[in-house]
Structure 1
């Protein structure tokens, strides 16, 4: 059950993150969605021209893993919602730094510059939303299971 719950939470939080970033990019023109999906610097797979759907599947795979890890950690004890938020935020510490790494490593993709602070703020806002979705979806799933049993 932990695995399925983690996959469910990872799926929905990753989907919402991707759609939010795509929307921000469409409204502002700031290429944060492109940055999220870019894999042109990854050995072997970076040389292939992937479709947007395939690149989104790569993103979703990472989110599914994060969802499973979050549920595994959340199930270890009976944590309060505030504690779950803290766990999620601690798990998310690398996300802001990934902006700089991914911007720096991009080879051909039209991604924001490492020094684009507006893009960085959009990136942080989007990933903060993602981080808060993990405990919200976890508690929602828990509540639905408690009602159905």
Structure 2
């Protein structure tokens, strides 16, 4: 289960991170910066983290989500496609709705709370994350 969950979390985390990075590079909307930002966390915020550490923090969260997803289908839910989509959506939704709080808490420059294009990119990225969770499950089994 651990290997399975880490695979699911890794693929989903990489897809989301790369999507946000490309969107930021192409449009200038700082959605990747927002995704990787930890400057508002006490103690963490006072450190200028290298890019690889920011990726590591992002991946830790993705690994936890991947492990929960794998655990659900090994021990709690029948792995029917409907259950897989529902679990992927429910596990991703809280992260998708962090746009406003993360933007308000951020100390560095991130998109405005009212930046409609950045919000849309953020939501699309998290839908992509949910799709990747489900599809990664299919690839691993």
Structure 1 length normalisation: TM-score? 0.90
Aligned-partner SS, 1:93: helix
Higher RCO structure (Cα 8 Å, ≥6 apart): 2
Please tell me whether the aligned partners of residues 77 and 83 of structure 2 are also in contact (alpha carbons under 8 angstroms). no
Q: Which residue of 2 aligns with 1:101?
A: 101
- The range that moved more, 56-65 or 78-87, is 78-87
Q: How many pairs are equivalent?
A: 140
Q: Which residue of 2 aligns with 1:147?
A: none
Distance 2:77 2:95 in 1: 25
Tell me the alpha carbon deviations over residues 58-101 of structure 1, each in whole angstroms, 9 at most, x when there is no partner. Answer: 00111001100011012223321222011110122212320001
Q: Which residue of 2 aligns with 1:41?
A: 40
RMSD: 1.0
Aligned-partner SS, 2:70: helix
Q: Which residue of 1 aligns with 2:80?
A: 80
In the alignment, structure 1 segments of 5+ residues that lack a partner are: 143-149
Distance 2:60 2:96 in 1: 19
Please tell me whether the aligned partners of residues 81 and 139 of structure 1 are also in contact (alpha carbons under 8 angstroms). no
Larger Rg over CA atoms: 1
